[in-house]
Structure 1
Amino acid sequence: MNVPEPVNLTNCDREPIHIPGSIQPHGAMLVMDPSGQKLLFASANIPCITGYGGDLIPGTAISLIVGEKNAHDFRNAAAKAREPGLSSVILGLRFPGKSLLYDAVVHTHLERTFVEIEPCADRGQSAREALDLTRSLIHRIGREETVERVAKTGVRLVRAMLGYDRVMIYQFLHNGAGRVIAEAKSPTLGSFMGQHFPASDIPLQARHLYLVNTIRMISDTSYQSIALCPSLESDEPAIDMSFAQLRSVSPIHCQYLQNMGVSASLSISIVVDDELWGLIACHHDSPKVAPLPLRIGAELFGQYFSLHIADCERRTTLQVTADARTKLDAIVSQLSISDEIRDSLGKQLSRLSELVAGNGAALWMNGQWLQSGDTLDEHQTRQLLKVAGRDSPRELWASQEIRGHLTDYTGSVAGMLAIPLSMAFSDYLVLFRNEEAHAIEWAGEPVKTTAETPFGARLTPRGSFDTWREEVRGRSTPWTASDLSVAQSIGTYLRDVILRQNELSEQERAKTEQRRRVLNAELNHRVKNILSLVKSIALQTGANAANIADYAQTLEGRLRALASAHDQSLDGKDGGSLAGLLETEVNLYSDTPGRITLEGPPVHLDQRAFSVIAMVFHEMMTNAAKYGALSVPEGRLKIRWKLEASGDCEMFWNETNGPSVTWPSRTGFGSKLIKNSLEYDLRGKTRIEYHRDGLQAQFSVPSVYVTQSYDGLITPDIQIEAVGKTHIDGMKILVVEDQSLIALDMENTLRKLGAEHINLASNAPEALEMIEISKPNLAILDFNLGDNTSENIAELLLKLKIPFLFTTGYSDRTLIPEKLRDITIVRKPISDSAIAAAINSVLG
């Protein structure tokens, strides 16, 4: 009895899509022997293209079919493409007696040389334009720093480059399914953003082809294939077209695309670490052929895009790991040497769990069990640790669905990550995650029906792609590559700590007493220095005070400045921020916003310089409040500082609009304090000048006391003219521009100005269709659109009373019809401020 073959993904994966025996009709194919001299197979349309009138018989000299020069060029191209997956390109070839130009791609595979021929692109400059466009796109995508931003920008750039109606980034997930993580599309299409596609939509053999042949185009999903002639002999190996661009496509896949409403497609593989990470999928609602130069450019862009995705993921993982390492340092620093390492780690379990966003943690060490938070019980955990020891000895073991390993388990914990802490894998740190019940949105119900094909029963594509929601239970959030990297760091770190613990504990006990003695000596030294400084301040203040009240007020202010400097230097562990010091002092005197301006780069002063500068600026602020610019409402003070090439910090004090000042008749303690503390204590420089319009001073702190930091940066308020003053938040804006890169630049500028809803059109019909679908609040029209203009768009906008402006690269306004010459014009190249000013003018 014959048992029917079960219909599942396994037999679907066996469809021989790499040997279809036919090609797509937008090109032609020659298959030659390894020498490139003789014909083996040819597509049936070769005579129409080459003009060859004879029979396509195996063994026919290639030169008879394509001409001697072309045959020579084919052989040279094949010689350059001997490596698997490598091809050579010939642009602009002409066949004898034919006027049309063609492009060709040549590659070798399994002792056969393949020549794929396509009509040359319409424009003679297409190769140069493709190169320029590709270079520009690579530059633009290189500015993005996260996978999310790279994907979001990438779809916009590819759509601008290739002109497809929809471009998506399709990322493969850990279970083989895919999800759309970015999308750029025509406004008339529905969205697949965020939707999932089951693994069966792209069978294993198709994924393999995407990996080895990284660009794939289907010019028309309803095409009639063209067979290769002659038919294979019974003992002849099939023609493997794995690397061919014209290779015919599985009818199932064509039906799948047609069910989506797709008439043409192009895909660019995203390959990370030699694995298929995802696809840049392009769809069009009518037949479309992307010219060969553009496809080559897109393939190069895809290779750079893949490298950039890999780089972003690695940087994210490194950053997450570095952050976790910092937190690990803090955790390990709190491990007590006097306690057993097991007990010390047990006190830190909740913090260790937080490193990977866990809900609980347990420690199995030296035969003892410790736990914190939401965990399995000891028996359940030991069951899973046996599985971990068997499946991944001495390695991490992770599962987001532990119910498959535990009988009759119904608890809330769903995920587990085991980290071995000993070479004998008897000790483990175990991290847990609770169940995350969630809904997955699928592009149609992920269930396929079956149909009989020439290859037997096969799964067929679904007919609907309407959103279908699935509720998922019993799983935690997946353990990501970053989580596993952090876990690896935890394991390495803790194993090292455990190995070193016994050695260090005895040394640490001996050092503890020594540290205590050093700390007491340092504290004693500092207290004596501060008391001596306080004594000097008190004596000098008393000698120069006019009365008791003046003495008390001045002494209090100076001691407060000293205390503030001491507090900030302790906060900074070794000195403090110059910006923070000045802000603290300014807040005591600036009762009116804008009276005091601070400006300078981030600068860190060591403890000695910090105390001196605190006293100096306290004296300066006190004098300004008593006698200078801050003593009158209209007075102003600007404090500016900079770092010289030598590393010295130069500070500038400038008072304006205050009372007239003159040189003092005597030098008080404050002036002596300023001069002596800087010049004597720090070997710095001071210069104070009494101008009639206000006091000016300059102070210099030597580089030995100065370092540049990255906190406390103070810069003056900058008002950006026009930019930031537009009122386009929430508006729908239409941009009509036939140059894709200029359109993308305009979109970026508008987003900086606050716009969110922006539609791009490259020609008048597309723009008019967008206006009919959804009227914009504002339009920006490139007047010259290739061979046409945007005049009819402008007339419609006038009729609808929708404000708009023109952009143009021409300097002569007379090119614009007289009835439209009053419309605001912005000339290219366009700056942010120019477009902002123009928008303000148009919107009134």
Structure 2
Amino acid sequence: MQTVDLESCEREPIHQLGGVQAFGCLFAFSNDWLLSHVSENVPKFVDQTVDDLLGMPAADLFASDCLHEIRSRLQWLQFTDASERLFGVDVFGDGRSFDIALHKSEDLIIIEIELSDASGRMEAMSVVRSMMNRLVEGGTFSKFLQQAARQVRFVTDFDRVMVYRFLPDGSGEVVAEARAPQVDSFLGLRYPAYDIPPQARALYLRNHFRIIADVNGEVSKLVPEFRYDGRPLDLSLSVSRSVSEIHLEYLRNMGVQASLSISIIVDGKLWGLFACHHYEPKLIRFDRRTAAELFSQMFSREVAKREQDELLAVEAQARELHDRIMAGISVEGSVFDNLKGYLEPFMDVVGCDGVGILIDENYASIGLSASSEEVTSLRKLLNRSAASKVFSSHKLSSLLGESDFTLRIPGVLAIPVSRRPRDYLLFFRGEVVQSVTWGGNPEKSVEYGPNGARLTPRKSFEAWKENVTGQAEHWSKSDLKITEIIRTTLLEVILRSVDANDRLHQQANQRQDTLIAELNHRVRNILTLIQGVISQSRHNARDLDHFTSTVNGRIKALARAHDQITQANWAPGALRDLLENEVRAYSDTLDLQVELVGVNVMLAPQAFSTVALVMHEMVTNAAKYGALSVPEGKLRISWVLETDGAVSIAWLESNGPAVTPPRRRGFGSTIIEHSVPHELQGESQINYPAEGVRASFKLPAAYCELGDASESPKLSIEDLPSPKVISVGARKSKVLLVEDNVIIAMDGEDMLREIGFKEIILANNVSSALNAIEANEFDLAILDINLGKETSFPVAELLLKMQVPFIFASGYDDTSLMDKNNFEDVPLLSKPFSKQSLVEALGSEMDLDD
């Protein structure tokens, strides 16, 4: 093995290592399509030698259809620094299927191929859309990152997937992790900046995906090794590019046999990485790599949005504090007396360990803070900084020298609250290393390589700890922006506290001009931001939870309507189905309270979403404030087909709380009253008598038609037939989930855990399911009937013999297969199924609150 100089890793040209990994073969063509370079493993891919191939025209090497497709894709790359991919291509015209990656490297056309398996190919866009849907369902930022790691692990099937975030000083932290049970945790680990040197970071910005299929795998060198001008090839965008030996040794020392890294880029900067480890050699298929990379790009946009939303929320908190201070200050009181009572609220707004206020010779503080003597030396430093500028440092010893004070409080952020003499509001932070711990087992033994113990995660973490001694967490962009808002507040406090003489009057005018300019600038920025990111719904949101709940409900209502239309190939949808979906989506306890009466009216797709959104608002209001908010309340929705073909809908609530007209008109009221008239040219009217809400809607004939009466009998919801159920008793221990689609399996696993099952074992085919049954005792099984080229009936037969209750799931409506195999009494869940439909199939013993 080659020994490398650890100290020279920052100078290593990792994009010019001149080789590819064994799973890929690289061809480099000149602009006139003559082969100028090829990897030495090419005989494994095509029955010709390197000497035979060099100088060969591409048309003599590649099949004509393949070359045509490659040239077309290169057209897309004419003005971009990126790569393109092709899947399942017969490259050599011999019937073999390959996946292709191509890009331009200076004046060379780089084409990489690897063998392709078309069976079970993943459709990247559909998978990524489903992955993103799970991310945006809410929760804290930490849970958001954790869910992202979990999604990437499901797609890649690596033993460990980490979200690694870069910090302002270039160091990094593992902020989220998804891993196999037998794998140690790295969560919370931090690493010094030089663990990922500058050239590696630059490469992550250009090429968002890097895979190492086998750390001990062979490397195929390029022939010839250098270009005609003596320089090595730039393989920055290569997918099979060989890897730095120093990084391979790092992985070996960890016991890792395969890895992949996916860039997370926010606002054009490298925010972090998805870092994936596997403890055996592993090459995930090109389509899965593509899905993971596409997910990372979508995830990066969501990170940017969440960080912006978080900044907006904190700014709002700072503005609220501004209003509190301005409402509570005494004009007659001094600035010091006015502000010292707000130190704790200041500490809540800015993440810190302590706060102090220094005005004239008066000093007060809470939490971790400097003494009066220490503040004197700090003030001298602050007075040398620019006037009216916020001062920040995360390593005070670099400015004041090492002392007990600078080691105890290395982080200081100071807001000047006057110009002359200088007074300050001070925020303090303690040493960062005190709050960071090793996330795995620090005593775990490792085998060191020829470059020593430094190349291990534990030693890297210890190196980071040594490197950050005497440092605090960096003051973030959010911290600095908030302090600017606070500075504006402090300026206002001062303006209210000055004496009304000519000298102070002049000072007040000067400060007021500055304040007005700052406030105008801030207001313009905020208005521009609001215009860009806040939708109509936010105008009436009371808080973030209310906004999220409201928009989530409206989006789900539209999604349900859209699903109904698309399931019918964009054909008209039944009004009754729309109403039932809205009622059932809100709660599973409303069925006995709601009566639906009317003929089978079908709504055109153009009207379906509009009516769904209106009915969603009506049901939501009824469940929150109206008849459906109490058990005895009743709701009757009836509709008739008029002689002119229009449909009139009547809404009648009764037995609910006394109704009072709304005191304000929100976006929901706008939807109810104006959507049908504005979008469909129909009519809407809603009244609020004390005995119950009354509403009427008229849909023009152009959007309505009468369906087959046999398709939709006049039944109220409580008359619907009961589904087949099974009994699993009160025990909720172990479930077998047989499903060949990874995304559906993830959904099912989440639902079962939410219901209360403790352990869910997944199987994607009959063989793995039978093995799981042999090794475990199950309380329940859920079986997807169609498993690619086989069915789950052999598993069902075994479960039947063992008297283990089970449920079928299927995307097909035809149940003839079940009947033919004597499973007609087994409950069937139609895909896509919800948690509620799963609970209903499990019978009354299943209590969601268990």
TM-score range, shorter chain: 0.5 to 0.7
| Matched letter for residue 812 of structure 1 | T
1:50 and 1:95 in contact (8 A); partners too: no
Identical columns (%): 32
Amino acid at match of 1:485: K
- Shift in alpha-carbon separation, 1:824–1:47, aligned structure 2, 3 A: same
* 1:408 equivalent among 403, 412, 420: 403
In structure 1, stretches of 5+ residues that fail to align are 510-598, 604-635, 649-684, 688-695, 701-717
Amino acid of the structure 1 residue aligned with 2:149: V
Structure 2 counterparts to residues 393-792 of structure 1, below 5 A: 395-399=389-393, 402=396, 405=400, 407-409=402-404, 413=409, 415-422=411-418, 426-433=422-429, 437-443=434-440, 461-462=455-456, 479-498=475-494, 502=498, 638-641=656-659, 643=661, 731-755=733-757, 757-764=759-766, 766=768, 777-790=779-792
Q: Structure 2 matches for 1:345-424, cutoff 5 A?
A: 345-365=339-359, 367-374=360-367, 375-387=369-381, 395-399=389-393, 402=396, 405=400, 407-409=402-404, 413=409, 415-422=411-418
Q: Does the CA-based 8 Å contact 1:91-1:103 persist in structure 2?
A: yes
**Cα distance in structure 2, aligned partners of 1:757 and 1:136:** 24
Q: Which residue of 2 aligns with 1:134?
A: 128
**What is the rounded CA distance, in whole Å, between the counterparts of 1:750 and 1:504 in structure 2?**
70
Aligned to 1:486, the other structure's residue is in SS state helix
How far did residue 729 of structure 1 move?
8.7
Out of 828, 832, 842, the position equivalent to 2:831 is: 828
Paired amino acid for 1:639 = P
Match of 2:313, SS? helix
**For this pair of structures, how many residues does the alignment match?**
647
| Superposed displacement of residue 727, structure 1 | 7.9
* Equivalent-residue separation in structure 1 for 2:27 and 2:277 (angstroms): 29
2:113 to 111, 117, 132: 117
TM-score with structure 2 setting the length: 0.65
Matches within 5 A, 1:34-433: 35-51=31-47, 55=51, 59-66=55-62, 70-71=66-67, 73-83=69-79, 85-123=81-119, 126=121, 129-144=123-138, 146-197=140-191, 199-232=193-226, 236-365=230-359, 367-374=360-367, 375-387=369-381, 395-399=389-393, 402=396, 405=400, 407-409=402-404, 413=409, 415-422=411-418, 426-433=422-429
Summarize the Cα distance change of 1:698–1:352 in structure 2 as closer, same or farther, 3 Å threshold. Answer: closer
- Bigger drift between 304-313 and 201-210 goes to 201-210
State the shift of 1:117 in Å.
1.9
Relative distance call for 1:381 and 1:196 in structure 2 (3 A) is same
Residue 9 of structure 2 corresponds to 12
Instruction: Give the SS at the match of 1:108.
Output: strand
Deviation, 1:792, is: 6.2
Q: CA deviation at 1:386?
A: 4.7
How far, CA to CA, are the matches of 2:137 and 2:692 in structure 1? 41
2:205 touches 2:263 (CA, 8 Å); kept in 1? yes
Distance 1:31 1:805, change over 3 A: same
CA deviations over 1:500-551 (Å, ceiling 9, x no partner):
7659999xx9xxxxxxxxxxxxxxxxxxxxxxxxxxxxxxxxxxxxxxxxxx
1:201–1:461 Cα contact (<8 Å) kept: no
1:236 Cα deviation (Å)? 1.1
SS at match of 2:404: coil
Q: Secondary structure at the match of 1:13?
A: helix
Q: Are the counterparts in 2 of residues 94 and 102 from structure 1 also a CA contact under 8 Å?
A: yes
User: Does the 8 Å CA contact 1:804/1:842 hold for their aligned counterparts?
Assistant: no
Contact 1:444-1:462 at 8 Å conserved across structures? no
Correspondent of 1:840 among 816, 825, 843: 843
Provide, for residues 16-64 of structure 1, a one-character-per-residue CA deviation record: whole Å limited to 9, x for no partner.
211110001222112223x243332111233553555672676543333
Shift of 1:479: 4.3
CA distance in 1, matches of 2:33, 2:688: 88
Deviation at 1:777, TM superposition (A): 4.6
Aligned CA distance change for structure 1 residues 839 and 28 (closer, same or farther; 3 Å): same
Larger radius of gyration: 1
Offset of residue 238 of structure 1: 1.6
Give the conservation status (yes or no) of the 8 Å contact 2:253–2:446.
no
Deviation per residue, 1:669-705 (Å, 9 max, x gap) = xxxxxxxxxxxxxxxx999xxxxxxxx96899xxxxx
Counterparts in 2 of 1:36 and 1:765: CA distance versus 1, 3 Å: farther
- Match for 2:742: what amino acid? S
The 3 A distance-change label for structure 1 pair 483 and 51 is: same
1:72 to 1:358, Cα distance in 2 relative to 1, 3 A: closer
Residue 833 of structure 1 and its aligned partner are, at CA, apart by 3.0
Change (3 A) 1:835 1:350: closer
CA–CA distance in structure 2, aligned partners of residues 67 and 647 of structure 1: 67
| Partner AA of 1:13 in structure 2 | E
2:634 aligns with none
Whole-angstrom CA distance in 1 between matches of 2:457 and 2:346: 49
Mapped partners of 1:15, 1:31: distance in 2? 23
Are the equivalent residues in 2 in contact too, given 1:733–1:759 (CA < 8 A)? Answer: yes
Shift of 1:477: 6.2
What SS class does the counterpart of residue 806 from structure 1 fall into?
A: strand
SS class of match (2:425): strand
Equivalent residue letter for 1:16:
P
Q: Indicate if the aligned counterparts of 1:28 and 1:46 stay in contact, CA closer than 8 A.
A: yes
The aligned amino acid for 1:736 is V
Q: 2:21 aligns with which of 19, 24, 31?
A: 24
Cα distance in 2 between the residues matched to 1:470 and 1:327: 36
SS in structure 1 of the partner of residue 746 of structure 2: helix
Distance in 2, matches of 1:139 and 1:498, equals: 49
Deviation string for 1:782-814 (max 9, x for gaps)? 344333444665577678776543334454365
Question: Which amino acid is the alignment partner of residue 657 of structure 2?
Answer: I
Q: For the Cα contact (< 8 Å) 2:728–2:845, is it kept in 1?
A: no
The CA deviation at 1:217 is 1.9
Deviations 1:84-134 (A, max 9, x none): 5322334444345522132322212333321122223423x837x223222
Query: Which one-letter code corresponds to 1:154 in the other structure?
Result: A
- For residues 258 and 358 of structure 1, do their structure 2 counterparts lie closer, same or farther at Cα, with a shift above 3 Å needed? closer
Note if contact 2:250-2:455 (Cα within 8 Å) is conserved in structure 1: yes
Give the TM-score normalised by structure 1. 0.65
TM-superposed CA distance for 1:838, in Å, is 2.6
Paired residues of 1:269 and 1:280 also in contact (CA < 8 A): yes
What's the offset of the Cα at 1:305?
Answer: 0.3
Q: For residues 450-488 of structure 1, give each alpha carbon's deviation from its aligned partner in whole angstroms, at most 9, with x where no partner exists.
A: 876xxxx78863398999998998666664544333223
Assess, with a 3 A threshold, how the Cα gap between structure 1 residues 460 and 601 changes in structure 2: closer, same or farther: closer
Alpha-carbon distance in structure 2 between the residues aligned to 1:442 and 1:646: 51
Q: Within 2, Cα distance between the matches of 1:796 and 1:192?
A: 41
Cα 1:73–1:780 shift into 2, 3 Å: closer
Structure 1 CA distance for aligned equivalents of residues 221 and 262 of structure 2:
26
Cα distance in structure 1, aligned partners of 2:181 and 2:794: 21
1:247 CA displacement:
0.6
Deviates more, 1:797-806 or 1:163-172: 797-806
Q: Which runs of 5+ in 2 are unaligned?
A: 506-620, 626-653, 667-686, 695-717
Deviations 1:295-341 (A, max 9, x none): 33322221110010111122112112211210221012222212343
